[in-house]
Amino acid sequence: MSETKLSIVDLTKRYAAGLDPAVDRLNMQVEEGHLVALLGPSGCGKTTTLRMVAGLMDPTAGSIVVDGKEITHTPVNKRGMGMVFQSYALFPHMNVEQNVAFGLQMRQTPKAEQKKRVAAALDMVQLGHLGKRQTRELSGGQQQRIALARALVVEPTLLLLDEPLSNLDAKLRETMRTEIRSIQQRTRATTLFVTHDQDEALDMADRIAVMNGGLIEQFGSPTDVYERPQTHFVANFIGQANFLDVTIISETGPAPVAGEASYKVDVEGLGGFGAVGAKGLTGAHELVIRPHRLKVTLTGEGHDALKGTIERVSYTGDALSVAIAVGERSFNAQLLTTSGDLPRRGDTAYLSWAPEDAYLLPAAAPGKAS
């Protein structure tokens, strides 16, 4: 086990009395060297959380602990963190080198060492040749890298990034994604990364904190939050999902994943289907199935398949998205295209899934208990 670098305890921010808190008793533990993505829809409190950790904003309540030391009320300039802003916030009256050297100057690092570390930081972001440039003469991606170098050169206790890629075009965003991740892994800088882009979070992060309404809905590895969403919101926000209201018939034994159980569930009288979930569930629950995990056949093979009609087909070359109506319900499925006949609108189709691909959300479905 690695050590806990940052722990956030019951952190709360209320911008004004009477308003709902923007961050509401948030708890989180970040391990040393991890990159944690704060992921969530607009207005869920990501920036607010990050700014409180950075010390740019005072929390209403709660505490922030770094390396075992409480820093909740330490002023921003004493925290030794590195922050990269969405708009980069490079100093327009300094050239690239001066920008990167700023943090070292504030720490009164000897001149010779400053020079060496600035050069090393610029090399790290592959912009060693642009040291004398004015910041306005840089492209967006280059500015981004300089901002990263400026934050990293001081060897920050924590690296904080607020949507650092949102001002870049799609292509560059992907490049920078890999680059930031590799620099982060090389420097082993514990990093908080704010984003509202799930692909970014899944691709880069060691852990994802999925936020909603000022709270963390789930904190876990990318596969955790994708494969084992703990709430409807998480399942819906990360990737696409089909939801089914089911009633558990019986627990049938252990599941392939340790600590989980297999279940037989009833889908609104359509028959018994297999599913997996946490141990000891009973009653009404919601079942989550990812579209590409649904098996679709045009002939009714297998006995526990749902019969439906294809409502909509959208073809994107590699994949085929189909919407299939089963009774009043509509399922989204994703199929790989083959050179043969493709399903068409109006065709009858049979839906089934492997039990381990259908996950029961742990919370009892509201208002459907039987």
Q: Which residues of the shown chain bind ligand ATP in the complex (CB under 6 A)?
A: 15, 22, 40, 42-48, 196
Q: In b/e form, how buried is each residue of 212-241, taking b as 16+ CB within 10 angstroms?
A: bbbbbbbbbebeebbbbbbbbbbbebbbeb
Site residues for Mg ion, window 36-65 (CB under 5 A)?
A: 47
CA–CA gap between residue 353 and residue 290 (Å, rounded): 10
- Contact residue for another protein among 4, 85, 133, 292 (CB under 8 A): 85
Nearer to Mg ion, 194 or 365 (CB): 194
Considering the rule CB under 8 A, would residue 55 count as an interface residue with another protein?
yes
For residue 53, the minimal CB distance to ligand ATP (Å) is 12
Cβ proximity to ligand ATP: between 85 and 243 the closer is: 85
Half-sphere exposure of 354 (CA within 13 A, CB side): 6
Q: Which of 2, 87, 185, 337 binds another protein (CB under 8 A)?
A: 87
Site for Mg ion in 242-301 (CB under 5 A): none
Nearest residue (CB) to Mg ion, 47 versus 352 = 47
Partner from ligand ATP, another protein, Mg ion, none binding residue 154, C-beta < 5-8 Å depending on class: another protein
Q: Interface mask (CB under 8 A) for another protein, residues 154-193, using x and -? A: x-----x---------------------------------
Phi, psi of 196 (to 5 degrees): -115, 15
Q: Using the rule CB under 8 A, is 111 a contact of another protein?
A: no
Q: How many CB atoms lie within 10 A of CB 120?
A: 14
Write the DSSP assignment of 96-140 as a string of letters. HHHHHHHHHHHTT--HHHHHHHHHHHHHHTT-GGGTTSBGGGS-H
Q: What is the DSSP letter of 95?
A: B
Cβ-based nearer residue to another protein, 50 or 289: 50
Residue type, 303: H
Residues 6+ apart with CB under 8 A from 110: none
Decide which of another protein, Mg ion, ligand ATP, none touches 150; Cβ closer than 5 to 8 Å per partner kind.
Answer: another protein
Strand order in the sheet with 69-70: 23-31, 4-13, 61-66, 69-70
Whether the Cβ atoms of residue 50 and residue 192 lie closer than 8 Å to each other: yes
Residue 55 CB, nearest distance to ligand ATP (Å)?
Answer: 15
196 binds, among Mg ion, ligand ATP, another protein, none (CB under 5 to 8 A by kind): ligand ATP
* Residue 364 binds another protein, judged by CB under 8 A: no
CB of 18 closer than 8 Å to CB of 60: no
Q: Which two tokens stand for residue 158?
A: 């924590």
- Report, in Å, the least distance between residue 111 CB and another protein: 17
Shortest distance, CB of residue 136 to another protein, whole angstroms? 9
Cβ–Cβ < 8 Å for 267, 246 = yes
Q: How many residues bind Mg ion (CB under 5 A)?
A: 1
Pick the piece of the chain touching another protein (CB under 8 A) from 51-59, 275-283, 284-292, 300-308. 51-59
Cα gap 294→327, rounded to integer Å: 17
Q: Is there binding between residue 81 and another protein (CB under 8 A)?
A: yes
- Measured CA angle at 191 (ends 124, 47), to 5 deg: 120
Q: Check residue 79 for interaction with another protein (CB under 8 A).
A: yes
Binding site for another protein (CB under 8 A): 54-56, 75-83, 85, 87, 89, 91-93, 102-103, 106-107, 134, 150-151, 154, 160
Binding site for Mg ion (CB under 5 A): 47
